[in-house]
Amino acid sequence: MASKSPDSVRRARPLLGTFVEIAARGHEARHLERAVEAAFGAIERVHRLMSYQAPDSDVSRLNRADGGAPIAIHPWTYSVLRASLELRVQSMGLFDIAVAPALERHGLLPGSTASSARASPGQQGAVELSANNRARLQVAGSRIDLSGIAKGFAVDQALRVLRDYDVLGGLVNAGGDLAAFGAEDNVIAIRDPRDPTRLLAGAALRDGALASSGLTFDPIISGRSPHCAIIDPRTGTPVTAMSGASVRATSCMVADALTKVVMLAGTAASDVLDAYGASALIVNSRGEVIATTNWQWMHPLAA
């Protein structure tokens, strides 16, 4: 039994450091297979362009160019950089793609720590965009990392491929950052950030995106405790005030990025959520569950 009915296909691959699942329905099975394959292709492409580790990615090329003359990058990378800069302004600097050196210091990104101390987080806009899809780092010695936003962008691109294939409905889930379209509700369970082996709440998603941040969890090694991979650009240290956050937005890229802002700002993130028409659910370090009034609850939390 490969899928629940002949006109739906659901596949999963290890990509972007996690499990990416793509489902499509409402067309002939062979067509759905092709659509899902092409959607995985879009995810792989985003991975190649925006990986911090791959030496030939746009991100690595920008970091290696170390300021200097603007270099040509893929239009996808360009649009993620542009969105990142806007998010940085809207979030008063809380979303910042220049936290890479701090992530490295805390062992959350591979790399040498020798030059890490140079980047003073939060001071600059990280990149300067110029015409014809060209960009450069604004400050030599700094480094950018798109891991806080590229996964969501990859989900959006994969979903767009499914739409282009004219399937009736689809869902892309990249390790918990997910987006869907179609006429059917998709039931999403949200993991309890305090204990990833438990579920906290449910959400129904039809058209739109939902992303969560919090602990990174290795379900194979039971002894290792989950760790938080979000850095406060103001202090360069990992977040401790929040255990986890989920954000719903129209695009997964925005939802993905805003989870980091909500993890840092908590309920003070109202304005930026408002600016993007997003809603959020937070579990703070005291174990309190807090949500925006426009969060769409599902039973039983909607008491």
Partner 1 sequence: MVDWVKMTLPAALAASVPSSDYAVQYLTIERSQKLSFPSATEFSPIDAHAWQVASDGKQAGRYVVDRVIGKHLYIDYAVTLDAAGRVQRVDILQYREAYGGEVRDRGWLGQFVGKSTASPLKVGVDIRNISGATLSCHHITEGVKRIVDRYGQQISR
User: Using CB under 8 A as the criterion, what x/- string covers residues 244-263 for binding partner 1?
Assistant: x-x-----------------
The CB-of-278 to partner 1 minimum distance in angstroms stands at: 8
Residues 119 to 178: which contact partner 1 by CB under 8 A?
171, 173, 175-178
Helix axes 75-90, 252-265, angle to 10 degrees: 30
CA distances, 56 to each of 64, 113, 140, 193, 227 (Å): 10, 20, 19, 34, 28
| Coil, strand or helix at 164 | helix
Nearer to partner 1, 72 or 199 (CB): 199
288 binds partner 1 (CB under 8 A): yes
Nearer to partner 1, 233 or 244 (CB): 244
Amino acid at the residue 294 = N
Return d(Cα 143, Cα 166) in angstroms, integer: 40
Among 193, 208, 233, 236, binds partner 1 (CB under 8 A): 193
Among 7, 26, 31, 33, binds partner 1 (CB under 8 A): 33
The CB-of-96 to partner 1 minimum distance in angstroms stands at: 20
Which region, judged by CB under 8 A, interacts with partner 1, from 54-62, 96-104, 158-166, 200-208? 200-208
289 binds partner 1 (CB under 8 A): yes
Q: Cα angle vertex 51, ends 110, 71, to 5°?
A: 110
Written as one string, the DSSP assignment of 112-139 is --TTGGG--TTSS-SEEEETTTEEEESS
Which region, judged by CB under 8 A, interacts with partner 1, from 51-59, 83-91, 135-143, 218-226? 218-226
Under rule CB under 8 A, how many of the chain's residues touch partner 1? Answer: 79
Strands 134-137, 71-72: parallel, antiparallel or unpaired by DSSP? antiparallel
In the chain the first and final C-alpha atoms are separated, in Å, by: 38
Residues 71 to 110: which contact partner 1 by CB under 8 A?
none
Which region, judged by CB under 8 A, interacts with partner 1, from 14-22, 56-64, 79-87, 138-146? 14-22
Amino acid at the residue 278 = A
Return d(Cα 39, Cα 23) in angstroms, integer: 10
Residues 224 to 243: which contact partner 1 by CB under 8 A?
226
Nearer to partner 1, 117 or 199 (CB): 199
- Tally of CB atoms within 10 A around 132: 8
35 binds partner 1 (CB under 8 A): no
